[in-house]
Structure 1
Amino acid sequence: KGTSLEMLVRFGRRCGRAKEDTEIKNSEEDHALYPPLLPSKVDLREVTIIPQNEWKRIQDSLDSLTREAACLRAERKAKKEMHFRSQEVVKHWTNTYAGMKEQKLEAKKKRDEEVEAERRILDIEEEIHKQGERKKAIEFAKQYQLYQTERVKRFHSGLLLSRVMKERDAQIEFQKNKIKSDEKWEEQLKLSIEKSFKEEKEKAEKQRRDRMALANDHLKQIKEHKEEEERRRKHEERDAKEIKRQNALYEIEMRKKLEKKKEERNESRKLFFENMNDKNIIKAVERQQQEEEDEKIRKFIKAKKRLTQMGKEKEAETHRLMEERRERINNFLSELMKEKLDNEDLIIARDTAEAEAEWEKREKEKYEKNKAELKAIAEYRAVVMKNKEEEERQRKLDAKEQLLAIMKADQIFQEHEKEKKRKADKERQELRDAHIQQMAQNKFNAKQEKQAELEYYRLTEALVAEKEKEFQDYAREVIELESESTNKYIYPLVKAVREGHGGGRGPVFVDRGGLRPSYQANDVTGVQLPFYNSQGSKYSNFQKSKGRLGFTW
């Protein structure tokens, strides 16, 4: 609206109507000073002139909303900037609620960090303590396992024996130094000695019974093992016999199959030749029948020809008789013609002509009939000969096809037999390859097992050597500690150290980690054989010793 008013209103004085030159001059000045705000062909007398103040008031009334919106935006922006400045200023104050809250949060965070650091230190200390406890438990378990071994137990038994012997000597020395002997004590000592002897005797008897029971148990086990071995051997023999029998049955069955196939082949060949002979016989019979039929046809044709000849002769005779009769009739008629009138001559001539025409007609029909019969006979003979030739050709084709079918069947049978033989050869080759591969695999597995066993022995020897070193160190420390008090009773300890691990009295197995096994006598006693460390034998007869050890050769 304001734009339209600007276009319609112009400031300044109105120009009145003057002379034509003045009007032209004023119009040129107006065009030069002011742009063409009014559209063309507008009458200036109809344009309203508004003062400048009024024009400003109108513009202010129209643009008031825009100015108010701009003022509101500027005011909000100023308030927002003031708020940001206030926050920046108040942010570092400590006497406000926000500052106090921030200080409390910082203090709480610092306390939590200190508590967490203390907890970490306590956790580390507890972990160190638990690790020490675990180490102590592991050391105790290792020591307990070491003390539970047979060799350490025997060493401790030797240690206890040495201490008991030491205590016994001390007590004996103490008893010797006593001024006055006690009879009651002597009686009690005597009773205790008798009791100990009795207990030792009972213990020895019990050990003997246990050894006897163990020996009987061993003999029973040996007998059971022998029986089991005998049963296994018999079972293997039965299996071998059964396999041999199955192989024999298989070979017999295969021979029967081959014989049966050979018989079937011979039977088929025999049937083929019999069929060929039957066909030849049938061909000969058919040929004979054909010859007989041909002979009949020839006889029939010959008879037909003879009949035809006879018919022709009879016709000639009949024709001759007719000619004679006609001649007689003509002679008779000629005689009559002389005697009768002309009309009678005409009647006779007409009858004669009709009789001749009738006779010629009959002769012609008879000739046509004979000709048709001869033609039918010739056609029948041609058809019969053609059928015979077709049958002979078809018979030859059938025989040839049958021969080709038999040859093809024989070829298929031969190919089938070759294929079966090839498959059997392939299966045997695959079985042979599988056996070779299995043998190689078994050999490789045996080699691997041997390597694993050697590796196990090596590790066992290393472990045994380590344990032996540990035991020797422990025994040396104990012996040195015991030898400080007395050097008289350390022999049981030295003996226990020299015995070696294994618990036996036999020779040491060098390849088995230095084990010393036990050997049991092969007699009713079943006792463990002693260990004799001698350079030779006093006796030259070893038969008794060999029998005792169980050698039978």
Structure 2
Amino acid sequence: MGTSEVVVRFGRRCGRAKEITEIKNYEEDQVLYPPLLPDKVDLRQVTIIPHNEWERIRDSLDSLTREAAHLRAKRKAKKEMHFRSQEVVKHWTNTYAGMRKQKLEAKKKRDEEIEAERQILDVEEAIYKQGERKKAIEYAKQYQFYQTERVKNFHSGLLLSRVMKERDAQIEFQKSKIKSDKKWEEQLKLNIEKGFKEEQEKAEKQRRDRLALAKDHLKQIKEHEEEEVRRRKQEEKDAEEIKQQNLLYEIEMKKKLGMKKEKINESRRLFFEHLNDKNVIKAIERQQQEEEDEKIRKFIKAKKRLTQMGKEKEAETHRLMEERRERINNFLSKLMKEKFDNEDLIIARDIAEAEAEWEKREREKHEKNKAELKAIAEHRAVVMNNKEEEERRRKIEAKEQLLAILKADQIFWEHEKEKKRKADKERREVQDAHIQQMAKNKFKVKQAKQAELEDCRLTEALIAEKEKEFQDYAREVIELESKSTNKYMHPLVKAVQEGPGGGHGPVFVDRGGLRPSYQVNDITGVQLPFYNSQGSKYNNFQKSKGRLGFTW
């Protein structure tokens, strides 16, 4: 390889020799741009791909992404074009959509006009139906007004007046037609007699009906009286049973109270007996304690006497020992004179040993007596302490028992007080409940009375209003009928003057003008005559008084 050219191999292919200027440019490029490959890479092992091949590879790898982007852009452009077309075509009138829109708007306008006409028709129909309803209501009110008793009676009077007019007209017509017809007169007389007979039969039938009604009323009154008597007997029987139950309850309560008092007295008696027994036991124990104390005193006295005797014996022994010692001394003094010094020493030693032994025995005896006296004193102190402890424990137990009995008695009386308080509370509650019930009943009665008064007031107002309406109607009818003739107005005037109630008695002004009926108090049960009648149809005054209910 020469120095004038550099050979670069691209893979397996042999490269061309390049000019030095190209190498220089490459070196400048290497200086201007940093290397894309890492350091320490052998360029001879690097495969160099041409630009066209590189573009082909990259296109083959990115084809799907580019196709998707192209499709999205195409779809977006198509959509934008569609929106622009719609905006442009929206206001056109010579297209199918424009004509369809115009038809829809025209149809909507026609529907609105039809709906407005229908609403107008509905309003007119509602007004017509409202008028029909008003007419029906007025007709119902008029029909209801015509169905009342006073209007019916008034219409009966009106019918009677018109019938009488028609009868007079027919009579006049018949008289004008046949004035001298005897047969017609006889027939008329027969008809009159027949009508009179029918009226009598009708009156007799009414009398019999009234008698039957009076008997029925008397029977009902008798049944009510018997029922009242039975009710009173039942109430008396119930009251007697309640009284007996109360008496039994009081007897039972007295028995319980007596048993309770007996129980309390028995408990008190047992308590006092227990106290007496305790006192007796205490006296016996005190006597036993005195006897024991006497025994202890005798024992101590005997012990003192024994001690005194022991001391006296000890003194006697000491005296004898002194005398013996004196004798021994005298004897020894004699022996000392008679014997030698060695013998004196032996005797002195024996005497010293004998005295030491005697002193030892005396000391042991004294210690033994002292120990016995100490044991006796300790035993006496223990016995006295035990007695005192037992007496103190017995006093504590007696006190606790007494406190327990007092506490039980106090609890019993507190329980009794609580029961009495509860009974008083229940009695007060029952009394308060009775008072509240009485107040409620009184308030209910007052409310019922007020409601009754209010009903009476409303009834009077309603009756007055109906009476005014009836009077107006009757006045119009009478004025209309009086235009033709004034001859037969009496039934109408009578029907108007009867007043509400349909009776024959006096008018109650405070009760809305009611006119009640009155019935006699005898077996006839007939209605009393008119209060404004000119006379009675009964000539027997005694019978009339009995019928009216007078007893004098």
TM-score range for the pair, normalised by the shorter chain length: 0.7 to 0.9
Aligned equivalents of 2:103 and 2:210: distance in 1? 88
Q: Distance in 1 between matches of 2:171 and 2:133?
A: 48
Distance 1:374 1:386 in 2: 18
Asked if structure 2 preserves the Cα contact closer than 8 Å seen for 1:502 and 1:515, the reply is yes
1:151 and 2:150 are equivalent in the alignment = yes
Deviations 1:275-304 (A, max 9, x none): 333222221111111111111222223333
Deviations 1:314-334 (Å, cap 9, x if unpaired)? Answer: 666677788889999999999
Looking at structure 2, the residues matched to 445 and 471 of structure 1 have their Cα atoms a distance apart, in angstroms, of 37
Q: Could you tell me which residue of structure 2 aligns to residue 398 of structure 1?
A: 397
> Are the equivalent residues in 1 in contact too, given 2:501–2:515 (CA < 8 A)?
yes
Task: State the match for 1:443 in structure 2.
Answer: 442
Q: Superposed, which structure 2 residues align to 1:66-85 within 5 Å?
A: none
- Summarize the alignment of residues 70-469 of structure 1 with structure 2, pairs less than 5 Å apart: 86-179=85-178, 196-252=195-251, 259-310=258-309, 365-469=364-468
2: distance between equivalents of 1:537 and 1:178?
43
Structure 1 residue matching 2:504: 3-state secondary structure: coil
SS of aligned partner of 1:203: helix
Contact persistence 2:150–2:500 (CA under 8 A): yes
**What is aligned with 2:494?**
495
Q: Which residue of 2 aligns with 1:527?
A: 526
1:375-404 per-residue CA deviation (whole Å, 9 max, x = no partner) reads 222111111222222233333333444444
Q: Give the aligned residue type for 2:488.
A: Y
- Matched-pair identity in %: 84
For 1:249-293, what per-residue CA distance to the aligned partner results, in whole angstroms no more than 9, with x for missing partners? 555555555555555444444443333332222211111111111
Quote the offset at 1:546 in angstroms.
5.1
Q: 1:168 deviation in Å?
A: 1.9
Deviation, 1:451, is: 2.3
Name the structure 2 match of 1:471: 470
**Structure 1-normalised TM-score?**
0.73
Q: Which residue of 2 aligns with 1:53?
A: none
- In 2 relative to 1, CA 534–184 (structure 1 residues): closer, same or farther, beyond 3 Å? closer
Partner deviation per Cα, 1:43-91 (whole Å, 9 max, x = no partner)? 7486699xxxxxxx99xx9xx99xx999999999987776556544433
**Contact 1:520-1:529 at 8 Å conserved across structures:** yes
**Aligned match of 1:22:** none
Aligned residue identity for 1:382: A
Pairwise CA distance, 1:227: 2.1
Q: Which moved more, 1:371-380 or 1:213-222?
A: 371-380
Give 1:131 deviation, angstroms. Answer: 1.7
CA-to-partner distance for each residue in 1:470-490, whole Å, 9 max, x for gaps?
A: 111111122122222221111
What's the CA shift for 1:164? Answer: 1.8
Change (3 A) 1:46 1:548: closer
Distance 1:366 1:324 in 2: 21
Structure 2 distance, partners of 1:258, 1:126, is 90
C-alpha contact (below 8 Å) 2:517/2:528 kept by paired residues:
yes
Classify the secondary structure of the residue corresponding to 2:229: helix
Provide the rounded CA distance (Å) in 2 between the counterparts of 1:551 and 1:248: 48
What letter matches 1:281 in structure 2? V
**Shift of the alpha carbon at 1:524?**
0.9
CA–CA separation in structure 2 for the residues paired with 1:77 and 1:331: 171
| Deviation at residue 219 of structure 1 after TM alignment | 0.5
The within-5 A match list for 1:47-66 is none
Which segment drifts farther, 455-464 or 429-438? 429-438
Deviations 1:439-466 (A, max 9, x none): 4443333333222222211111111111
DSSP-derived class of the 2:505 partner: coil
Contact 1:457 1:511 in 2 (8 A): no
Q: 1:438 to 1:543 in 2, by over 3 A?
A: farther
Distance 1:303 1:69 in 2: 143
Count matched residues.
Answer: 504
Task: State the Cα deviation string for residues 328-348 of structure 1 (Å, max 9, x = none).
Answer: 999999999999999999999
Alpha carbons of structure 1 residues 77 and 322: separation in structure 2 relative to 1, 3 Å: closer
CA–CA distance in structure 2, aligned partners of residues 509 and 235 of structure 1 = 41
Give 1:491's aligned amino acid.
Answer: H
Deviation of 1:523 after TM superposition, in Å, equals 0.8
Alignment deviations for residues 414-458 of structure 1 (CA, whole Å, 9 cap, x no partner):
545554555455445444444444444433333332222222111
User: Could you tell me how far 1:215 is from its partner in structure 2?
Assistant: 0.6
CA contact 1:519–1:528 (8 Å) conserved in 2: yes
User: In structure 2, how many angstroms separate the alpha carbons of the residues matched to 1:48 and 1:352?
Assistant: 152
**211-220 or 194-203, which deviates more:** 194-203
RCO comparison, higher one (Cα < 8 Å, 6+): 1
* Cα displacement string for residues 478-535 of structure 1 (whole angstroms, at most 9, x for unaligned residues): 2122222221111111101100111111122223222111111111111111112169
User: Aligned in 2, Cα 1:546/1:412: closer, same or farther, shift over 3 Å?
Assistant: farther
Q: Is the 8 A contact 1:457 1:513 kept in 2?
A: no
Aligned pair in 2 of structure 1 residues 494, 333: CA closer, same or farther (>3 Å)? Answer: same
Deviation at 1:101, TM superposition (A): 0.6
Deviation at 1:411, TM superposition (A): 4.5
* Contact map agreement 1:521 1:549 (CA 8 A) in 2: yes
Question: Are the equivalent residues in 2 in contact too, given 1:465–1:513 (CA < 8 A)?
Answer: yes
Moved more, 345-354 or 357-366: 345-354
Q: Tell me the CA shift for residue 222 of structure 1.
A: 1.1
CA–CA separation in structure 2 for the residues paired with 1:361 and 1:48: 142
Q: Deviations over 1:135-179 (max 9, x none)?
A: 222122112211211111111111121122222222222232234
Q: Distance in 2 between matches of 1:77 and 1:379?
A: 130
User: Structure 1 residues 283 and 171 mapped into 2: Cα distance closer, same or farther (>3 Å)?
Assistant: same
* Matches of 2:443 and 2:29, distance apart in 1: 129
Q: In 1, distance between residues paired with 2:139 and 2:528? A: 37
1:27 matched to which residue of 2?
Answer: none
Letter in 2 for 1:302: K
SS in 1 for 2:370: helix
Question: Which is worse superposed, 468-477 or 112-121?
Answer: 112-121
The letter for the 1-side match of 2:166 is E
**What amino acid is the match of 1:176?**
K
Unmatched segments (≥5 aa) in structure 1: 1-13, 15-41, 50-56
CA distance in structure 2 between the aligned counterparts of 1:281 and 1:545, rounded to whole angstroms = 103
Q: Quick one: distance in 2 between partners of 1:291 and 1:527?
A: 117
**Paired residues of 2:506 and 2:531 also in contact (CA < 8 A):** no
By how many angstroms is 1:202 displaced? 3.8
Contact persistence 1:215–1:524 (CA under 8 A): yes
CA distance, structure 2, for counterparts of residue 181 and residue 536 of structure 1: 40
- List alignment gaps of at least 5 residues for structure 2: 1-20, 34-50
Give the distance between the partners of 1:436 and 1:141, measured in 2 at CA.
52
TM-score under structure 2 length normalisation: 0.74
Tell me the CA shift for residue 218 of structure 1.
0.6
